[in-house]
Structure 1
Amino acid sequence: MNLAMQMEWVARAALIGIGATLTMDLWAIFLKRAFGVLSLDYGMLGRWLGHLPSGRLVHESIARAAPVRGERILGWSAHYLIGVTFAALLLSIWGLEWARAPSLAPALFVGIVTIVAPFFVLQPGMGAGMAASKTPKPNVARLKSLGAHSVYGFGLYGAALLVAALLPAR
């Protein structure tokens, strides 16, 4: 891959990932305002990440863990960086050709597969157990995660369509 294609790949991955993550966040806002459904507090993600350098991967309850300076900005930054990383995964598998002419199936597949991260890394690390098993209503938490990651998948597709329209192939 030449330099121009590499730059195009990075630009598309970043824009698609940011767009998809924004879609997920807008969905969370809608759920909160319309139905009172709460989503992850990204400050808690930042708190969890902030404890990693001291070797603390698993917490009994991240809400009761000591606050970390800048945890909110750390969490939100990580949230968007993770979204871009998963978009890069999509482009790594399906390539620039997919990004130039997006189709729904690969985006939705990657969106749903990304549920592995909260189920097996984030939720256990924050004290919620594997796939939210230690929460009061594990199946409700699982469905919320599945819904959010499905919306992220649709966001990958929508953002890719928008980026393809704005950045035509060379």
Structure 2
Amino acid sequence: MTDFLYRTVVIGIGATALLDLWALILQRFFKIPAPNWGLVGRWFCHLTEGKVFHDDITLARAYASERAVGWIGHYVIGIVYAAALLAFTRPDWPSAPTLAPALAVGLITVGAGWFLLQPGMGAGIAASKRPNATQIRALNIVGHVVFGFGLYASALLIR
């Protein structure tokens, strides 16, 4: 069990860090704004009060610690996705990781953003209420593929 927890945390943090590096590259070289983890944190904070869906998260009551909550939540979710990968792959996957399961988890997890987070923050299903919905969807898919590569690469590093 300790080995599972260790691998889950390291793989999840590694994959999430690679996703964050990808966001920095997009911001620096392509002028694509970085994710606003403060607003994600605001959404998480409102979840504790039973409020899942907002018309516009920017208009919801702010919290003093929402930025920290957003960053912590972002990494915790990465760890949870790593746990799912390890739970649903063959028992020897951590010692001999393959790319396909990691990419599958990366792609499957796009659904959480499209069908829970984005509607919850007021952006609609798969950012349908945003004027640049197609761009957001493409960036979501590519970002989660990067996350999938991060799951695989992190597993390789600690095998």
Assess same fold via TM > 0.5.
yes
Q: CA deviation at 1:53?
A: 2.2
- 1:145 matched to which residue of 2? 140
Paired with 1:55 and 1:161, the residues of 2 have a C-alpha distance of 39
1:1-170 matched pairs, under 5 angstroms = 6-164=1-159
Paired with 2:67 and 2:105, the residues of 1 have a C-alpha distance of 26
Per-residue CA distance 1:100-151 (angstroms, 9 max, x = gap): 1111111011111100110000000000000110001111110011011010
Identity of aligned residues (%): 46
**Residues 80, 13 of structure 1: CA spacing in aligned structure 2 closer, same or farther, 3 A cutoff?**
same
Amino acid across the alignment from 1:144: L
Paired with 2:73 and 2:146, the residues of 1 have a C-alpha distance of 19
SS of 1:76's partner is: helix
Paired with 2:111 and 2:26, the residues of 1 have a C-alpha distance of 22
CA contact (8 A) 1:9 1:96 kept: no
Unaligned stretches of 5+ in structure 2?
A: none
Amino acid across the alignment from 1:116: G
Stretches (4+) displaced over 3 A: none
CA contact (8 A) 1:46 1:78 kept: yes
How many positions carry a matched residue from both structures?
Answer: 159
SS of 2:48's partner is: helix
Q: CA deviation at 1:95?
A: 4.0
Per-residue CA distance 1:32-73 (angstroms, 9 max, x = gap): 001101132111111001112222211111112121120011
Paired with 2:49 and 2:4, the residues of 1 have a C-alpha distance of 35
Paired with 1:43 and 1:55, the residues of 2 have a C-alpha distance of 19
Q: Which has the larger radius of gyration?
A: 1
Amino acid across the alignment from 2:89: W
Unaligned stretches of 5+ in structure 1?
A: 1-5, 165-170
